[in-house]
Amino acid sequence: MLDFLREEEINENLIDEIEQFRKYYNVKPDLRYRIPNPKYNYYGKDIWEEAITVLLCGENLLLVGPKATGKNVLAENLAAAFQRPIWNISFHVNTDSSSLIGTDTFKNGEVVLRHGPIYECAIYGGFGVLDEINMAKNESIALLHATLDFRRIIDIPGYEKIPLDDATRFIATMNYGYAGTRELNEALASRFMVIQMPSISFANLKKLLRREFPNMKEEYIEQFAGLFKDIQKKSESSEISTKPLDLRGLISSIHLMDKGLDAFKALQMGITNKSFDSFEQQLVEDVIRLRIPEKLKRGEIFTD
């Protein structure tokens, strides 16, 4: 991961500090399996540097941005760069403090605390990824306030008070930018450093495709990246929903093409059909047709 950061020309001082961080904080061998090995890399020098600095300073991070901006990719990449075990916690309406920190359970005839992911992450010095943090009801996660701010403790009524491990960091993600997204309340937001995630740039998108598909012809890297940008623009102008705006889907489609499937069919499964409205499908299909020839075969896209 650090080699990748050097390739991306991230400030050398920051990389040195990451190395020191890694040396200083060890990971228990039985937790090593939790250290992620990211499938995709995050591209974007500025964001990388901001995020690394925040984590080095012991702050928590909130990544805000619309769909397909790489919030979770970055979170995972950061954990890999710092070599910390990761706990992924998806927030939803019914998320409450007991499902995060822990709740009473009954074992061998007595009531004991069943640890939640935040608790585990806190004592083992992991990186906790609080996915879609704005989807939980603000009041129900108020118990996290003491965990996330300078106090760095977990205080569960009826049990002991636990200090957080020094290496523990929390990275929250939040989808924001379309009509009707839920707000995060001030108390919670003030406990994070916030990065506004930009949508992936054309150049970085090409970089990503090039890395994922080293055997793809440059001409088609250009076209697939352009296709994604076209769809993004259409969705930003609210002509279509965000459903077909699916980077994961695009990459999976290209994998299918690599296996020999028709480009058009592959894109249909990966992108067009993500929307269930037939008219929207038609619009997306038009976008695709202005980028990808109808009967494109594998040999034309890939070099080998």
Partner 1 sequence: METENKEKERAFNIIWNASGEYSFKPEIEAYDENGKADIYLNYIIGAVHKYYDYSLLENFFNDLKEDAYQELLKSLTWIGLENCTYERGKVERPVLESLRQSYSKKILSGCDAASTNYLFDEIRIAHFKKALGENPKMTGLASKILNELEFDKSMSTEQIIRRLNKIIRVYFRFGLIPSSYGGKRKIPRRRHIIPFLRLFKIASYKYSGEISFKKKESRFSKLISNWFKLIELRDKRQREYMQKLYGISILPESQTKAIEQVLCTGNHKNCHMHFTCGQFEDNIINNRDAIYHRDAVIRQREKNKEHYKKDLARNNNSISRLTNEIKNAILANSESYSIRSEFGKFMAERVWRNFYLNDNKIFIKNLKDDIKNLSVDIMLDASSSQANRQEIIASEGYIIAESLTRCRIPVKIYSFFSEKSYTIINLFRDYDETDKNDRIFNYYSTGCNRDGLAIRAALHMMKDSESEHKILIILSDGVPNDTQGIPKNESSRIRCDYIGTCGVNDTAMEVRKGRQDGVSILCVFTGLDEDIPDARRIYGCDLACIKSPKRFADIVGVLIQNELNNM
What does the binding site for partner 1 look like in residue numbers (CB under 8 A)?
93-94, 98, 103-106, 109, 111, 114, 176-182, 219, 223, 226, 230, 233-234, 236-239, 279, 282-283, 286-287, 289-294
Of the two residues 66 and 249, which places its CB atom closer to partner 1 in the complex? Answer: 66
Q: Where are the beta strands (DSSP E) in 19-60?
A: none
User: Which of 74, 187, 167, 77 is closest to 122 using CA atoms?
Assistant: 167
Of the two residues 161 and 178, which places its CB atom closer to partner 1 in the complex? Answer: 178
Q: How far apart are CA 75 and CA 86, in angstroms?
A: 9
Of the two residues 246 and 280, which places its CB atom closer to partner 1 in the complex? Answer: 280
Is residue 166 classed as helix, strand or coil in its secondary structure? coil
Of the two residues 26 and 94, which places its CB atom closer to partner 1 in the complex? Answer: 94
Q: How many residues does the chain have?
A: 304
Q: How far is the CB of 274 from partner 1 (least distance, A)?
A: 16
Q: How far is the CB of 287 from partner 1 (least distance, A)?
A: 6
Q: How far is the CB of 35 from partner 1 (least distance, A)?
A: 28
Of the two residues 160 and 219, which places its CB atom closer to partner 1 in the complex? Answer: 219
What is each CA distance from 195 to 26, 43, 47, 140, in whole angstroms? 28, 15, 8, 24
Task: With residue 161 as reference, give the H or E element that holds it.
Answer: strand 161-163
Q: How far is the CB of 192 from partner 1 (least distance, A)?
A: 20
Q: How many CB atoms lie under 10 A from the CB of residue 90?
A: 14
Q: How far apart are CA 296 and CA 287, in angstroms?
A: 16
Q: Where are the beta strands (DSSP E) in the chain?
A: 61-65, 86-90, 102-107, 110-115, 127-131, 153-155, 161-163, 169-175, 193-196
Q: How far is the CB of 240 from partner 1 (least distance, A)?
A: 8
Q: How far is the CB of 19 from partner 1 (least distance, A)?
A: 41
Of the two residues 177 and 198, which places its CB atom closer to partner 1 in the complex? Answer: 177
Do the Cβ atoms of 126 and 86 come closer than 8 Å? yes
